[in-house]
Amino acid sequence: MSQQETDGRIGVDDEGFLVDTEDCEEREAAYRERGTSRPITVVGNPVLHKECKDVTAFDDELARLIDDMFASQKTAEGVGLAANQIGVDLKVFVYDCPDDDGVRHTGVICNPVLEELAPEARVLDDSNEGCLSVPTAYASLARPDYAVVRGQDAQGNPVKVRGSGYFARCLQHETDHLYGYLYIDRLSKRERKDALRQMDEGTPRYEVVPNA
């Protein structure tokens, strides 16, 4: 099964991975048009610095949250967004992200768990990374160039998604968010300080939640 179903589910391939490359524009637009864009929480907000709660209710409230997340992601011109980035303490992220071949991937993962790669399968990519919750800042960060995330879809069905290159970075970055880690937490003290300086000197292009 590889076609979009009427309830918004997408199919899986022969290996059980989400087919998240089909009808991306239509699926993203449907989510976004139902949703309401919300301001982005930024570094320092407590919700970003602790592990989020598991999603246990796969209901209309979750569906509305996912719609709002796609709307918020589009407004902020992001490629991935975790629920705590709009202040919601739940393990769910959305993505609309290209890989290094320019193939677009669009989907939703609840309760994600990043698979540990075997040492021989770990090829590090030290490209620049940014975050909507650390606006206007970028830093080089080494991450594996391939990632597999297991979790559940918006209906609670077990799913897994895989990515390479830029999309692999997105999957790792968003999963980190839901366990209380920002990408700057993986930097050296000097690099983290520099990223925060960039943020202080820049002006976000989208609405953010001021920290008290």
Q: What is the pLDDT of residues 144-173, one digit of tens each?
A: 999 999 999 999 999 999 999 999 999 999
Supply the pTM of this predicted model.
0.94
Give me the residue spans of the domains in the chain: 24-203
Instruction: Please state whether beta strands 40-41 and 208-209 pair in parallel, antiparallel, or not at all (unpaired).
Output: parallel
Architecture of the 24-203 domain: Alpha-Beta Complex (3.90)
Tell whether the model's pLDDT for residue 139 goes beyond 50: yes
As a whole-number percent, the residues of the chain with pLDDT over 90 amount to 89
| pLDDT per residue as tens digits for the range 62-96 | 999 999 999 999 999 999 999 999 999 999 999 99
Tell whether the model's pLDDT for residue 6 goes beyond 80: no
- pLDDT tier at 11, thresholds 50, 70, 90: confident
Residue at 74: amino acid letter: K
- pLDDT tier at 12, thresholds 50, 70, 90: confident
CB 46 within 8 A of CB 64: no
Give the pLDDT score at 120.
85
Give the pLDDT score at 14.
87
Task: Tell the residue number behind the tokens 């011109």, with chain if given.
Answer: 77
Q: Confirm whether 174 is a catalytic residue.
A: yes
Q: 25, 33, 77, 174: which one is catalytic?
A: 174
Give the pLDDT score at 9.
63
User: What is the Cα–Cα distance from 135 to 199, expressed in whole angstroms?
Assistant: 6
Task: Tell the residue number behind the tokens 């991306």, with chain if given.
Answer: 24
pLDDT (mean) for 35-44: 98
- pLDDT tier at 3, thresholds 50, 70, 90: very low
Going across the sheet that includes 158-164, the strands are 80-82, 92-98, 104-114, 146-152, 158-164
pLDDT (mean) for 112-128: 93
pLDDT (mean) for 181-193: 98
